[in-house]
Chains A and B, each alone.
Chain A
Amino acid sequence: MSESKKALATFHVNGEPHEVAFAPHKTLLEVLREEMNLTGTKHGCELGECGTCTVQVDGVPILSCLSLAVDAVGKDVRTVEGLAQGSELTPLQHCMADLGAAQCGYCTPGVLMAADALLKHNAKPSRDDIKEALAGNLCRCTGYLKIFEAVELAAARMRGEKAEPSKESIYGS
């Protein structure tokens, strides 16, 4: 692809084809937000230092601010907009909301995409597994604890367990 010339390509985002024209230096983050109006994916540092731009490409969580859009053509791109089925939130989204794991919410799309990828291949993650999977997602509000608890609760519910949040995580100790 030559300099600043836009080329047309078809992206597969959240299971739907999107035909977009963009130049080779455009990041996946820019194309998602500015060409497809998928503004759920946030931009923070744009240098790999915060994780709020996390999306999944072929199931793997990566940073869209450091990926070229052209490299995502032909791949399965998932963004936060693709989690809920219609108006039905995923268990992870429910738990994040119920447990106060999203405060200002700016980190939340990235956290959701990283945690969703974890839960897809690890049905029973330990606290350490969750910490590790989210070690590239900064949150300046929650102090992380509520996020970890939300992921644990979601994992339990996804395993079919009748799990409820602990009293401490809702009312404090």
Chain B
Amino acid sequence: MLRLPTFTYHRPKTATEAVAIACQHGKAAMYVAGGTDLYPNMKRRHQTPTQVISLQDVPGLHSIDWLPDGRCAIGAMVKLSALEHDAKVKAAHPAFAHAVREISTPLLRNMGTIGGNLLLDTRCTYYDQTHEWRESIDFCMKKDGAICWVAPGSPRCWAVQSSDTVPLVCAMEAEVELVGLDGVRTIKAGDLYRDDGIQYLTKKPEELLTRLILPAPKGWKASYLKLRRRDTYDFPVLGVGACVWTDAAGTVTKANIRLGGAGSYAIPATASEKLLVGNKLTDELVAAAGSEAMKPARTMDNTDLDVYWRRKVAPVYVARALMACR
């Protein structure tokens, strides 16, 4: 049996209490929401907190609230299955509901939360293995070792951003609310991440993610398209999140395209975005914008499916995602 290492289990009753426990124990502490990322990682000894802080009893994290200005504030502990079936979310944010539905399996979505999905650990073929497997080839720098097995000369880790919602919420310019020692702060979702396989988050370890805030559904259209081997279970090996703002005449005023599963963060396809602004989303323009997405897709040989093919299909997936924004 793959068993969890031992730990002390906390179930704080408020966010302040949760943050205080996390601060008290520093690196030894980790939060847990649904546990569908943390517990497999603990079983494989990637993450070995001796203090596990469950957020299930923290009030205010379990609801979906519609703000007066039309924004939708989703509590971090809202289950993925609740989100995918929420009629109002589906109607106002179909691309987001679709991205959530693309995550893992229905059983895992009954357990996993949106907060945990936004903070999902980065993944790599050489990392997502048991302790014994990793030990047998010697550990890599993401955990316990010094080398990167994907790029042995590299000073950094290239583990892959693998959450399905992250590319989309970054493209949509959603916001996340964080609670730390100094109180509450709200940042753009895109600013939560950095281009590093190990330190992939900008937030402080003790900071609690409390809400994801989706913008009011007005003036833009978004889409999410996922590439994977099986239509269930599998993490994205390419996940395109696109969001396009248009004026009354259908001319693009702003466009965000983010490539998930293609690097350690959701990479902006800047050249593609630039092509779109000031123009109408014609078939030709969409194809041209797609072609520009090959370069930023910095795929490495550390996920499922062939590395060159994954880069080659990025233009096709970006073009299809843009078509869905028309």
Contact = CB atoms under 8 A, between A and B. Distances in A.
B49 to A, nearest CB: 11
Most chain A CB inside 10 Å of its own CB: which residue of B40, B54, B106, B111: B106
Nearest to B81: A60
B108 A136 contact: yes
Interface in B23-48: 35-36, 39-40, 43-44
Contacts of B4: 25-27
Contacts of A43: 1
Nearest to A113: B107
B145 interface: no
B40 A62 contact: no
Given A3-B50, A47-B2, A63 B108 contact: yes
Interface stretch (B5-13, B133-141, B298-306): B5-13
B111 A68 contact: no
Given A3-B7, A3-B50, 19 more contacts: A1-B8, A1-B9, A2-B8, A24-B52, A25-B4, A30-B3, A46-B2, A46-B43, A47-B2, A51-B105, A62-B107, A63-B36, A63-B108, A66-B40, A71-B56, A114-B106, A132-B106, A135-B231, A136-B107
Contacts of A47: 2, 40, 43-44
B233 interface: yes
Contacts of A48: 36, 40, 104, 108
A2 B51 CA distance: 9
A3 B40 contact: no
Interface residues of A, number: 32
A1 B117 CA distance: 26
A83 interface: no
Contact of B106 (A46, A66, A136): A136
Contacts of A61: 106-107, 110
B177 to A, nearest CB: 25
B39 A66 contact: yes
A71 B35 CA distance: 11
A138 to B, nearest CB: 8
B232 interface: yes
Contact of A66 (B1, B3, B36, B52): B36
Contacts of A25: 3-7, 9
Contacts of B8: 1-3, 24
Interface string A3-40: 11000000000000000000111110010000000000
A24 B7 contact: yes
Interface of A: 1-4, 23-27, 30, 43, 46-49, 51, 54, 60-63, 66-68, 70-71, 114, 132-133, 135-137
A2 B6 CA distance: 9
Most chain A CB inside 10 Å of its own CB: which residue of B36, B43, B110, B232: B110
A62 B110 contact: yes
Nearest to B109: A136
Contacts of A2: 8-9
A114 B184 CA distance: 40
Contact of B6 (A4, A30, A49): A4
A68 B105 CA distance: 19
Contacts of B104: 48, 136
A66 B36 CA distance: 6
Contact of B232 (A1, A54, A136): A136
A63 B81 CA distance: 14
B39 A135 contact: no
A132 B160 CA distance: 27
A24 B39 CA distance: 13
A135 B106 contact: yes
Nearest to A4: B6
Given A24-B7, A48-B40, A60 B110 contact: yes
Most chain B CB inside 10 Å of its own CB: which residue of A30, A66, A71, A137: A66
B108 to A, nearest CB: 6
Contact of A51 (B2, B54, B56, B107): B107
A71 to B, nearest CB: 7
Contacts of B105: 51, 135-136
B106 A133 contact: yes
Contacts of A71: 54, 56
Contacts of B40: 47-48, 66
A96 B105 CA distance: 22
B164 to A, nearest CB: 15
Contacts of B3: 25, 27, 30
A3 B56 CA distance: 19
A135 B232 CA distance: 6
